[in-house]
């Protein structure tokens, strides 16, 4: 069987009038089938990432609220550090623990002179920045996938559309007729591929924008906390306590 006959045969089957989604898929050419499967998998992947991100940001917000409430409760930094006792599930707690470890080591060193205090402060800030960047990198996981799905799905669907239209013209050439019953199956196949591209792209773009805003807000909150902690430790280093 030639490629032309393989392209035309689904057209003839669909010409019977069955345009259900299942029929459009099963009777599509293998290229359009591959496009449809790829877009369906991309859509499922974006929804899985979205659900994971919703849970992640809710947990981050709840844990940050709880940690900040404890941090500003009036307890000393030493009490807070010992109270954590390794329970550092929250990124803010990890920033705090890393800063306190560096501060404790700086306290035990020779802190005479402004140079020593500046050096200690720089080490503390460096450690906190490292932890902040690492935590934000964790929170960003999946964002690139959402951006890729959102930007490429439409074009992948468009490729399926073009292929379906080509099949329509092949059917016209084979049947020597431009009757609607000959053209319609290929057009339906093409439009179905376009629809799947939009179904995959639109939610991915929406999710990406939502989670980008959430990530920006959380990054500002985490970096703001690191700045506040840096100021507190700087005062303690200056006082030599």
Domains in the chain, number: 1
**Per-residue pLDDT at 203 exceeds 80:** yes
Task: Give the pLDDT of residue 17.
Answer: 54
- For residue range 41-99, list pLDDT tens digits in order: 999 999 999 999 999 999 999 999 998 888 888 888 888 888 776 666 788 989 998 88
User: Model-level pTM?
Assistant: 0.78
**Per-residue pLDDT at 15 exceeds 50:** no
Alpha helices in 72-142 (DSSP H): 77-84, 91-108, 114-139
**Per-residue pLDDT at 37 exceeds 70:** yes
Task: Give the pLDDT of residue 72.
Answer: 86
Average pLDDT score, the chain? 81
- Out of 104-113, 135-144, 201-210, pick the least confident: 104-113
CA 142 vs. chain centroid, Å, equals: 3
Task: Give the pLDDT of residue 177.
Answer: 57
- Out of 43-52, 126-135, 163-172, 217-226, pick the least confident: 163-172
Instruction: For the chain, report the end-to-end CA distance as a whole number of angstroms.
Output: 87
Greatest Cα pair distance, the chain, in angstroms, is 95
Rounded CA-CA distance 154/196 in Å is 8
Rounded CA-CA distance 51/241 in Å is 46
Strand residue runs (E) in the chain: none
Rounded CA-CA distance 61/41 in Å is 30
Domain with 101, as residue range(s), is 3-239
């Amino acid at each position: 069987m030639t490629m032309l006959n393989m392209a035309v045969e689904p057209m003839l089957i669909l010409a019977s009038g069955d345009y259900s989604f299942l029929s459009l898929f099963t009777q599509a050419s293998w290229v359009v089938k591959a496009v449809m499967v790829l877009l369906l998998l991309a859509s499922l992947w974006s929804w899985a990432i979205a659900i994971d991100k919703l849970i992640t940001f809710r947990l981050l917000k709840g844990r940050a609220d709880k940690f900040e409430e404890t941090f500003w409760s009036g307890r000393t930094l030493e009490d807070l550090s010992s109270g954590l006792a390794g329970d550092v599930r929250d990124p803010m707690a990890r920033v705090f623990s890393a800063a306190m470890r560096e501060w404790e080591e700086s306290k035990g060193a020779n802190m005479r002179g402004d140079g020593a205090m500046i050096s200690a402060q720089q080490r503390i800030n460096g450690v906190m920045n490292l932890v902040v960047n690492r935590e934000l990198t964790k929170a960003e996981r999946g964002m690139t996938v959402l951006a890729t799905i959102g930007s490429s799905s439409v074009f992948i669907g468009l490729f399926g559309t073009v292929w379906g239209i080509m099949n329509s013209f092949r059917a016209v050439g084979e049947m020597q007729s431009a009757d609607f019953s000959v053209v319609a199956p290929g057009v339906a196949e093409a439009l179905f591929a376009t629809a799947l591209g939009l179904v995959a792209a639109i939610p991915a773009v929406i999710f990406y924008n939502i989670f980008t805003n959430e990530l920006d807000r959380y990054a500002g909150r985490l970096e703001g906390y690191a700045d506040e902690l840096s100021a507190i430790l700087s005062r303690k280093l200056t006082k030599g306590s």
